[in-house]
Amino acid sequence: MAVNTQFVCKTLTGLILGALLTNSTLADQPKAPSYSGWSWSGHAGTVNLDSEVAKEEYVEDSAWVIGLAAERWSSNSNLTVLFGVDFIGYSDDLSFGQHTTDGWKKSDASAAMGYVEFGPRIPFGMDRTNYFVAHAGLSGIFSSERGISNCSNCYSEDIDISGGLYGVLGVGHNFGSFNVGVQFQQYFSGDVDNSLRVRVSSSF
């Protein structure tokens, strides 16, 4: 998927700076009682890898992903910080089989990814139940390998794919007890090109 990374970067920078200026202006006004909390979410989607790196590691350049995240928010600020972890399932082009105590097993290829994001979540619309997200993030991929699941002594191989810096643009809707949103991630470094995810969240 061809994406104008300069446009995404400029859009993110403008929105984050705008949110910071808005919060600075609000800080000069009489403060209303404030409260904060955590929003917990689950998401699923696809991730597109750098095609050359994927070829070198013998996996397809598109993978599926599921994950969980926790987002810290405050009533007197549009800025939020989010911490998450994903499970990535690769489509493996170099799978193998091995005899185990449970019989013949075939390998699979997967990875885990941890990340942190920061930026504004801006409500809009007449009832302000819609929202726009513009985050900057940093991710790291670990436990990236092909091997036999649930086998401690089986053969395995590392799959050398890295995370990096990225930007997030997304929209969502607040249904009252939960939110549903769609978010696009564009990477500026590392071996991931971009990803698309659907997120369902709720505050507790």
pLDDT averaged over every residue in the chain: 89
Domains in the chain, number: 1
pLDDT over threshold 70, residue 12: no
3-state secondary structure of 143: strand
User: Would you give the DSSP letter of residue 190?
Assistant: S
Per-residue pLDDT of 36-48, as tens digits, reads: 889 999 999 999 9
Count of CB atoms situated within 10 Å of the CB of 131: 19
Per-residue pLDDT of 66-84, as tens digits, reads: 999 999 988 888 999 999 9
- CATH code, 182: 2.40.160.20
- Three-state SS letters, 44-112: EEEEEECHHHHHHCCECCEEEEEEEEEEEEECCEEEEEEEEEEEEECCECCCCEEEECCEEEECEEEEE
Rounded CA-CA distance 26/110 in Å is 45
Per-residue pLDDT of 75-133, as tens digits, reads: 888 999 999 999 999 999 999 999 988 899 999 999 999 999 999 999 999 898 999 99
Please, are residues 183 and 133 in contact by the beta-carbon 8 Å criterion? Answer: yes
**Residue-number span of the structural domain to which 115 is assigned:** 5-203
Structure tokens at 90: 């690769």
In this predicted model, which residue has the larger pLDDT, 76 or 195?
195
Rounded CA-CA distance 20/63 in Å is 35
Please, are residues 170 and 198 in contact by the beta-carbon 8 Å criterion? Answer: no
pLDDT over threshold 70, residue 29: no
Rounded CA-CA distance 71/61 in Å is 29
